[in-house]
Structure 1
């Protein structure tokens, strides 16, 4: 009877994956373990399958992408950035969309990518610190970059500067004399959403006469912005500014305000987050915080490839700057009145 990997693993008291790493000459094996495995190989007379070794050493030409629903604007652009940068380096992408954000669903997607012999994986999906670190520990031999994890996670990650962008949004509102804030966040399981909320809160608390009068958890989509604003107004909530976690939700906010006959920006100022292509064409055009989704995707590819080339010796975090984009949804009331006066003058001519 021929000797198998399992026989060697049993005698050496290690996993079959460890036996594979030893026979393939991987450096990621402790010297003591290597000696023990080689001794078992010699004792059993095991002869490695050279054909299998050649296949196992073949370089993967795919980068795996585990992402939230790509119907979401940001997820779609990040994926496009990954695809473009991967192509420049001779890689394609293998896409796994995870609509239900559970650890089990994410690891199932990684397992599927692993079965395709994908070595490099970018995860654009909400994960906790513990989950992201566990993935990195569990899947030895694979290289990961994370996009939506807590800042204290000991994993390689690329982030938008969410906290700084959120503070810039509040500072603009304060400069416009806005004091009573309605807040609509993204999902609570998203670290990006939590970073934005932290920026809003810290900036508002720095101004004693400003306050959050109500807060809701949205889901990034326009419908949640609409429904939560309706709920706040139906409860007679008094606010003069709305901080919104995404432009898509802000679209719903603007519709709800319009249905309640509240004028933007005369009575309520609204600011979103993302700077989607459509936000400049909302009614009124939306002030927002721009984040470069394409660049986030591109930098994620560069980071994961550096890991593969052993150029990253420690955990790396990269922050992509955000930018305040001012439009009419936060325009000063006096400016709006001036425009009305100009229009009246033109009509009299």
Structure 2
């Protein structure tokens, strides 16, 4: 099936009641939280989110781009003819283009289906791609991983699924395995492949510097806080709340027990927030925290455990020269590939 060059909005976006429920549950928990999934959509600003990811994950983006520049041609040589490219999340555009260009060079034309929960961000990506790649057929899907089910009805050919930028790190190890097994592998066919970007464990000082934990004037700290403040203003608008964003600062640290970076909003004064649509008043003490994001880091053992729990086969792995980041090519069992993991 050939798609025209256009952006398609499917009614699988986050529903308002899910958003409301998540905000309510998070703020009423003993350890308050606001899920990043909903902050991402609530932020409503594609350029701001792009700035956040570029600054917060600068080393990830650089390592991933270097690896794809070098190895994308080799990756696509292992694919079956007429393979379609599917991308979870419409970020990592530079890296995604490496895969698109390698496939176009290999096949002459290809189909690309990016999936993202933020419709405006997805629309911008589609418009840029259709301008730059006339031989690329495009179908955009507003969804989370459930969008793979939608594409299963539209893409009959083999697929290479991209999950880059270490987006898998947004959830814990067990949940990551469940997402892969139930939401992705279940929608793929034998011989389909998944190219998975995974951030690796590294020295504490490097992690804290990358996330702006210690430098009050770091770019990543400022952009992260701007993103979170923008999301709070959207919560005010959507739920008739009265968050005062200027009353919340930024805090982060690495949790060695959980194996993840934890990013928080920190209340800088005693305050009350009223959410009129819920009839809910939430109090914050000075230095009380709201967890807004966790980013899990992986060892090679963690990666092997993840793969074993999904039923996938690790076909090949590439790691940057500083051993900070990895690209992992996984294949659904039943394929004819005979390549071994490296």
Question: Which interval holds the TM-score relative to the shorter structure?
Answer: 0.3 to 0.5
TM-score normalized by the length of structure 2: 0.36
Q: Which has the higher contact order (CA 8 A, sep 6+)?
A: 2
Query: Is the strand fraction higher in 1 or 2?
Result: 2
Query: Is the helix fraction higher in 1 or 2?
Result: 1
Which structure has the larger Rg? 1
